[in-house]
Chains A and B, each alone.
Chain A
């Protein structure tokens, strides 16, 4: 293969890689989270990912990113968050990193559904976030490395699940 042909081939594969992957970096406050979700859903739409898969992904990302804003950076200035989305044939794979405080016990919370079998006044107003994340993802993993929290997971595409 000529050098020019090789270079064109390399450029083509770089372009493909860039298109199938989205990187977003921002500071963890609720409005920046909203903007980053807009970037993610816009990118997913451009990639031909269907509405229902976009909705589920947006919800999962919102829960994790807001958790970082509210808890990892609690009591300090909002810090950096980085998020990578990668489109695979059957799922979207996601990695999210932040430099905030570690999750309690260095592990993901159990993500149980809060009980709603109670009197009106005792109905839960929170605690649904991790339950939703666990419900809508696969291979959800958390670890701590070089002072960062790293979470990664897959959001399976509905068509892939159905087949």
Chain B
């Protein structure tokens, strides 16, 4: 499970460099996120653009990741691919997370100006 972590000052950017978050790697994903977010950033933005497939175990792992942050910190998701966005939409979990179309949007940049 390859996660890339970048300190963007106000927020931590965590890029999931993995095509799948599924039953085979959900526990590993949770463990890696726990290590990655051991900082004091209030916002954590997760770049999901590489993730092509997410099943219910993967969804559970993303929910678990948000819980790890506790009530004072926020997990925001950016760049969901169509198949992943569909899982969030069907399960109504899109209302639980703050979603951004792109990482730039999550950091307040106008995507059209980029």
Binding site for B on A (CB under 8 A): 30-31, 33-34, 51-52, 55-56, 58-59, 62-63, 66, 69-70, 113, 116, 120-121, 123-129, 131-132, 135-136
Contacts and interface: CB of A to CB of B under 8 A. Distances in A.
Contact of A132 (B23, B64, B91): B91
A123 B24 contact: no
Given A66-B55, A126-B60, A131 B24 contact: no
Contact of B91 (A30, A58, A128): A128
B44 to A, nearest CB: 14
B4 to A, nearest CB: 22
Contact of A124 (B24, B63, B83): B63
B102 interface: no
Q: Which 5 A-B pairs have the closest CB atoms?
A: A30-B24, A125-B60, A128-B56, A55-B83, A66-B23
Contacts of B63: 123-125
Interface string B19-38: 01011100000000000000
Nearest to A32: B24
Contacts of A34: 20, 22, 24
B92 A129 contact: no
B59 interface: yes
In the complex, which of the residues A52, A69, A126, A127 has the most CB atoms of chain B within 10 Å of its own CB atom? A126
Given A55-B83, A123-B63, A132 B96 contact: no
A31 B24 CA distance: 6
6 contacts: A33-B23, A33-B24, A58-B53, A62-B22, A120-B71, A132-B87
Given A116-B92, A126-B56, 11 more contacts: A34-B22, A34-B24, A55-B53, A58-B83, A59-B86, A66-B22, A120-B71, A125-B61, A127-B56, A132-B90, A135-B90
A83 B60 CA distance: 26
Given A63-B56, A66-B55, A123 B67 contact: yes
A34 B82 CA distance: 20
Contact of B86 (A30, A33, A55, A127): A55
Contact of A116 (B57, B64, B71, B96): B96
